[in-house]
Every structure is written in structure tokens, then in C-alpha cells.
A = this chain, B = another copy of it.
Amino acid sequence: MVAPERRRGRPPDEEARTRRREKILGCAARVFAAGGYQKTDVQAIADAANVAKGTLYLYFTGKEELFLAAVDQGMTWMRAAVDSAIADLRDPLDVFERGILAYLRFFEEHPEQVELLIQERAEFRDRKQSTYFRHREEGAAHWHSLLRELLASGRFRDLPLTRIDDVMNDLVYGTMFTNHFSGRHKPIETQAGDILDIVFRGILSDEERAKMKDTKS
């Protein structure tokens, strides 16, 4: 018995399909970010990707899936960027600092991803969970164990983990949005430095701080 000849004649070329899919997603991200979800014609994405409109429907079920896939891809890239920035660091405090820097840098360099996040919230508010928060949850374990380590080793003062978690997350989230929405262009390193200075050391003077210590937290 002979191996099926089809195999020889035509390789499935799954790879080409994947490449095309990613190309479409990249174009979609750009076009959606430039025009907004509603105002963007599917045709405009097809044009940008240099394929026919019908072809898009061979790769995605519709405009919605196309959009959501683009957002998801962006968030995946973001996490990869952060992971890669902290990959070879040893000191947990360095990881903490460089992670924040990498997060802000990614959105600074990919403003279209910020647009996609906002668009997603505006147009698909009814979905259980937004892509951003889903990815945040998926990455939460690493982040929590980092915080736990910093707490356990006594480098952070004794605070509930969720307090640090919430405040830090809200702060970088708000920073990213404000950067984008208000057109602020402070250098990323300065910005990360400002954040860490305040979050690490607080804004109270030593005197005021001492007074407050007596009180119960």
C-alpha cells in the first residue's frame, strides 16, 4: 500500500494560511485604530491587507471577530514585551521596576493598541470581560508571586497583597490612558521614575509620616 499521493502534490501550507491571517490582523489593528470600530469599513481592511473582502470571511467569521482577534493579538504582544524585558533579571525589585517601564513603553510605541482597548470597551461593553482584563488575569499569577516575594523578603512593608496589586494596576492603567488621551509625552524613563519614586517612598514628609505611623493603618 502506498502513502496517499495527495500529500506530495499539495502541501497543506498551513503556514501560509497563518502568515496571511497575521498580516490581516496587523492591518486590521492599524485601520481600526485609525478610524474607530464603527466607522471602519470592512472593505478598508481588505484594501489595506490587499485581499478581497470575501477573503476576510474565510479567515474570520465577521467584523467583530476580526476586531477582537486584533485586540487579543495586541495584548499578547504586550505581555510578551513585558516578559522579555524582565526575562533575565534577578533582583525582584528590578523586575518590578522594569516591568512597569516595559508596560508603559509598549503602549507608547503601540498607541494603536490603546485605541483598540478603548474601542473594545465602547463597542462590546456587554462581553463578560474585556480582553485587557482577561490578559491581566492570565498574567496575575506571576505578578502576585513577585509581590509575595517582595513582601516575604521584607523589602516591601507589610501590606495586604491586593492593596499593592490594585493600586499599581490602576496607576499604570491610568497612566497609559492619560498618556494617549491627553497627548502627554513625558519620556518613559522619567515617567516610570516618577511613579516609582512616589509609590516606593510616598509623598509625605518624614515628619508627617511619623505622625501618621502612630495611627492605625
Count of this chain's copies in the oligomeric assembly: 4
Are B200's CB and A202's CB within 8 A?
A: yes
* Chain A binding surface, main DSSP class: helix
**Min distance, Cβ A191 to any Cβ of chain B, angstroms:** 8
A157 close to B (CB within 8 Å): yes
Nearest residue (CB) in B for A147 is B203
- Which A185-207 residues have a C-beta within 8 angstroms of B? 186, 191, 194-195, 197-207
A173 close to B (CB within 8 Å): yes
Given contact pairs A156-B205, A174-B171, A174-B172, A197 touches B119 in the complex (Cβ within 8 A): no
User: Total interface residues on A, using CB and 8 Å?
Assistant: 59
Contact with B along A159-175 (1 / 0, CB 8 A): 10001101101111111
Given contact pairs A133-B182, A178-B173, A198 touches B194 in the complex (Cβ within 8 A): no
- A residues contacting B by CB (< 8 A) are 9, 36-38, 52, 93, 115, 118-119, 121-123, 125, 129-130, 132-133, 154-159, 163-164, 166-167, 169-175, 177-178, 181-182, 184, 186, 191, 194-195, 197-209, 212-213, 217
Lowest 6 CB-CB distances: which A-B pairs, in order? A174-B174, A122-B122, A202-B202, A170-B174, A173-B174, A170-B175
